[in-house]
Structure 1
Amino acid sequence: MSIPTEPIGSIPRPPELLAAMVAYEAGEIAIAELVAAQDRAVHDTIVRLEALGSPVVTDGEQSKPSFATYPIAGLSLAPEGVVIPFADGHQRQLPVLTGGPFRYQVSAEDYLRIAQGHASVPVKQAVIAPSALSLLYPPGGIDGYSREAFLDDLIDEADADIRRCLDAGAHVVQLDFTEGRLSLKLDPSGGVLDDFIALNNRVLERFTEAERARIGVHTCPGGDHDSTHSLDIDYTGLLPKLLQLKAGNFYIQLASEADPDKVLAVIAEHLPPDARVFVGVIDPIDPVIETPEQVRDRVLNATRHLPVERLGTCDDCGFSPFADDTSTSQETAFAKIAARIEGTALAAAELGA
């Protein structure tokens, strides 16, 4: 018996890459030098993941400015967007569009193909959910470019981004949907969440059942500078709606939940018949490195609620979703990933026995 295990996405950037990013922004090095540093970081990330025995790898998002903003670099933007408050008091702020039409400036396929050139195992590719990018449209509107026209363009662009990755051979395409839980903090009525689910499904419904088997959705309460934006929001308000998304895989943060059995019971009740759920068994923002035995026990506990043939494991979140987050070291991240891989194997062996 085996249980699939996958990373979520980002790995802390190495010091060499961080220095190159700073130097490039300061005009001290050319773009070619930055790209070379990014490529070395991608290669090192994949080599280290494969050395740990990871059956699926990512590029660690070494070349992305953040998990959310990769498609929009170069667009006409203003810095007056939605503010995302974190529990420790720091904030992130999204930009807003100043004109249309909306077009992706970078495709996730570009990251995927580079990673595949370094990998000898399947590569998964994270993309930003269209619901997150819908927040780019300003509340006051844009002259000559309605919100409806923007959403139509956004759906077409998100569709193309996912499809290009599938066509390029991605093991799975993962939609990052951290704004789902956050939406219930910003709008406790659930209206914004309903809009997000409907928008994402407008994209997902364009894919066949076979294609959706290779598409997943990741949810978490955010993870940035060792803090979260919505861990205080009860999962029971999110998961029944999240599991209505037309995806074949769900990656659900669980290790950092206070009551995992409560969450697992909700998942068991609402998980679609043909979907697999990857439960988080590693907390990326906890500096304590989990042991393989802790991971094993978390997996075994999950099987009390979910059939093992529909179960997988993952990290709760990426380790460094924003490039400037250096709160977790590479060494800690890879040690935690090693514990996930070994602990999942221990659980599989025990269940097989």
Structure 2
Amino acid sequence: MDHQLPATFEVITLGAMIALLVADLLIVGRRPHIPSMRESALWVGFYVGLAVIFGGIVWGVGGVTPAAEFYAGWLMEYSLSVDNLFVFVIIMARFAVPREQQQRVLMVGIIMALVFRAGFILAGAALIEQFTWLFYIFGAFLIYTAIQQARPESPEEHDDYKENALIRSMRRVLPLHHQYNGSRLTTNIDGRRLFTPMIIVFLAIGSTDVLFAVDSIPAIFGITKDPFIVFSTNLFALMGLRQLYFLLGGLLDRLVYLPLALSAILGFIGIKLILEALHTNTLSWINGGEGFEWAPEVPIWLSLTVIVVSLVVGTVASLWKSARDERIEAAAEAAAEAAEEAAAEAASEEAAGEPTK
């Protein structure tokens, strides 16, 4: 029989998770470096394994339902965090952040994301408890986001980072210098204190975190309304994100179908939220304030299945397409080289057959 998680367990585990994340980030602050592939892989594997073990502990303490909610929420939030990395890569390239400073930038970005998401979670939990009709709005927003996510992008849109109004206005207001000064936000040029491009990078990362929190928080509330599960899934999604950035590297460009997989997940969660809003309807101008009995309650196992299948299919299809494109490109290059060699050989034979003048 499923039961709720004890408050003591929630407080202790949340404290331990936050301490682990902060310790990891402090290590980066004291020893900024470019992690090797082996180091990144070990850390990512450690955090993924930790999430899997934690889900098992939740199962043992609280039962199947909270454990399934955790696994489904963690997988979804982790996949959305990988989507975050696409934008982070573009921002780093757009502002030419020195590679040895990228870990520090990611550290600040993760802290910002944690703060923003915590605020959204607390506000969302309080609002949903009082106003269940918000699921109509959350569901419609997620379906809209899913449609936008599925919309094909041009190469220019994919590779270019569009500065928002905040960044553009700060460029006009702040006295900026074009060179970095390590990880410092300011530099002294001829006795004048100027901001380095790092301040713009932090603003870009922070504003991006806000936008992703607006997407991810309604989505996780579509899986569970338990604030502890919501916050823990976000914590585990952020753990190892820095190492994942360096591990994936160029692999992000190969995950061409990941946006479609995320679109399917967000669309499904959006429909689930609307169905739940219809089932528990309290709006007087809809069906007289009564719920719709025909609106089914989507079970958590179905949510978990949709998330896992979408991610697996999207990843496998992406890697298959990338491998196929590489084979086609290699065959085209080989054909071009063969054509050039044949043309050179023909030219040589023709030159050898000409009479001597």
TM-score by length of 2: 0.23
Specify which structure has the higher proportion of strand.
1
- Structure having the higher Rg: 2
Select the structure with the greater relative contact order (CA < 8 A; seq sep ≥ 6). Answer: 2
